[in-house]
């Protein structure tokens, strides 16, 4: 049997202290989000119905005051289909909307509705707990308006993460003052909580295993599409959901191509566990490569080693790139690599472009960030493609790999 109905609160993913500080600096009373990953981050409710349409079907209200609970706003159908089984995060209150499917999602008006959804997952004792369901509202705006009023925020200053959130909030609270907050959510998300790190570590562990199996099967598979599908299968088999596979710098899923003897083949594999992403890149030698190709790989690995030795709080993204470029120029002036840092979490590129004040920023590493640095070779005269990539957790005085290092060259 699945977890019981209303299984209880899960550990929160959201970093409430950081959220409060970001909103304080931005002069906001709360942020309203409807982008699915932001709703999940704020509430741990998976926005299932948003997968069926481009319209965002759920929302979350995140007050700046941490003493005020977060509100989850969504359909009763979605709630009883999935969220009542898995549970919302601690300190999150549901505000449910009736009428998504059929005359009513409210089990008090349609008693068979929730029982039908939960029949395969719950026993009679679990279903009996539905006798006191959350309050239902006749529409998303009405539900959000009640959540705002309950927290004493009507007419306040709000951030919104996208146009759907803006339209919903304008209907729910016409007196509210609004500003964009898509980057503000990324400012909050860059520092991982313990609950997030548990998912990140699991994602990275599985992604590594699937990546190595797929990379070592390059000759067996014999083509770009074969390696790509092998990674997808191995990631899924272990419990991750595939995101993408870059093979020989090809990421389009409808593109294929065969390999040749002596070719270097970069692989860049991403999959997620609980929506948190693993990211791993290596170079595969399809037989014995040319000396220049092997030399390029050695230079790239040395540069990545040098970068890792310097990773710590206070280092800037621009400084990370410069360390890599300086190392390459010292070792082999004819080579050129891209050293592109990015933070990883619910997205492959999970960091803001602009500062909280709205100015372009050079990201500064902080403890609790999860960093990746893409290190592909950019030389066209190398016989193939070359890459290194690992996930690194920034610690108090340095960094810690989330996946096993080494295996920089995989020979098939």
Residues 253 and 266: their CA atoms lie apart, in Å, by: 16
4, part of any domain: no
For 122, the domain range is 16-189
Higher pLDDT, 199 or 5: 199
Average pLDDT along the chain = 90
CATH at residue 31: 3.40.350.10
Residue 119's pLDDT band (boundaries 50, 70, 90)?
low
Segment 156-196, tens digit of pLDDT: 999 999 999 999 999 999 999 999 999 999 999 999 999 99
- Please state the pTM of the whole predicted model: 0.91
Pick from 173, 189, 205: which residue ends a domain?
189
181, part of any domain: yes
User: Measured in whole angstroms, how far is the alpha carbon of residue 347 from the centre of its chain?
Assistant: 3
The closest alpha carbon to 348, from 377, 385, 391, belongs to 391
305 with 367, same domain?
yes
Residues 16 and 227: their CA atoms lie apart, in Å, by: 41
Residue 149: count other Cβ atoms within 10 Å of its Cβ: 12
Q: What pLDDT does residue 115 have? A: 58
Q: What pLDDT does residue 127 have? A: 52
Residues 220 and 216: their CA atoms lie apart, in Å, by: 8
267 with 306, same domain?
yes
Residue whose tokens read 């927290």: 151
Q: What pLDDT does residue 376 have? A: 94
The total number of structural domains that make up the chain: 2
CATH at residue 278: 3.90.230.10
Min mean pLDDT across 100-109, 122-131, 240-249, 393-402 is at 122-131
DSSP 81: I
Residues 195 and 90: their CA atoms lie apart, in Å, by: 12
Residues 4 and 84: their CA atoms lie apart, in Å, by: 8
Residue whose tokens read 């640095």: 373
Residue 87's pLDDT band (boundaries 50, 70, 90)?
confident
137 with 204, same domain?
no
Q: What pLDDT does residue 101 have? A: 53
Q: What pLDDT does residue 4 have? A: 41
Kindly state the tokens that stand for 327.
């190392």
């Amino acid at each position: 049997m699945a977890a019981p109905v209303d299984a209880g609160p899960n550990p929160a993913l959201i970093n409430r202290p950081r959220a409060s500080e970001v909103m304080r600096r931005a002069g906001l009373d709360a942020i309203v989000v409807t982008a699915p990953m932001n709703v999940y981050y704020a509430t741990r409710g998976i926005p299932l119905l948003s997968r069926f349409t481009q319209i965002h079907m759920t929302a979350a209200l995140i007050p700046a005051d941490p003493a005020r609970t977060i509100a989850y706003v969504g359909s009763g159908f979605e709630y009883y289909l999935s969220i009542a089984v898995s549970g919302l995060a601690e300190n999150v209150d549901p505000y449910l909307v009736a009428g998504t499917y059929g005359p009513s999602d409210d089990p008090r008006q349609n008693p068979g509705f929730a029982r039908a959804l939960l029949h395969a997952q719950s026993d009679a004792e679990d279903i009996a707990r539905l006798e006191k369901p959350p309050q239902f509202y006749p529409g998303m705006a009405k539900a959000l308006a009640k959540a705002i009023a309950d927290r004493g925020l009507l007419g306040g200053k709000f951030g919104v993460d996208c146009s759907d959130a803006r339209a919903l909030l304008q209907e729910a609270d016409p007196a509210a003052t609004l500003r964009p907050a898509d980057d503000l959510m990324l400012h909050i998300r860059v520092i991982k909580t313990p609950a997030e790190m548990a998912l990140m570590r699991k994602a990275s562990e599985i992604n590594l295993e699937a990546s190595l199996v797929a990379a070592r099967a390059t000759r067996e598979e014999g083509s770009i599409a074969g390696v790509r599908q092998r990674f997808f299968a191995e990631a899924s088999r272990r419990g991750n959901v595939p995101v993408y596979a870059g093979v020989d710098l090809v990421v389009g899923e409808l593109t294929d191509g065969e390999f040749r003897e002596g070719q270097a083949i970069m692989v860049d594999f991403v999959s997620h566990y609980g929506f948190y992403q693993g990211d791993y890149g290596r170079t595969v030698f399809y037989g014995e490569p040319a000396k220049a190709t092997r030399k390029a790989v050695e230079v790239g690995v040395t540069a990545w080693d040098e970068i890792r030795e310097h990773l710590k709080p206070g280092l800037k993204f621009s400084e990370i790139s410069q360390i890599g470029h300086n190392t390459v120029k010292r070792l082999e002036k004819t080579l050129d690599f891209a050293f592109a840092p990015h933070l990883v979490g619910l997205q492959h590129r999970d960091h803001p472009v602009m500062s909280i004040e709205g100015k372009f920023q050079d990201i500064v590493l902080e403890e609790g960030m999860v960093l990746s640095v893409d290190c592909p070779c950019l030389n066209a005269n190398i016989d193939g493609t070359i890459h290194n990539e690992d996930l690194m957790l920034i610690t108090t005085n340095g960094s810690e790999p989330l996946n096993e290092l080494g295996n920089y060259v995989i020979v098939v």
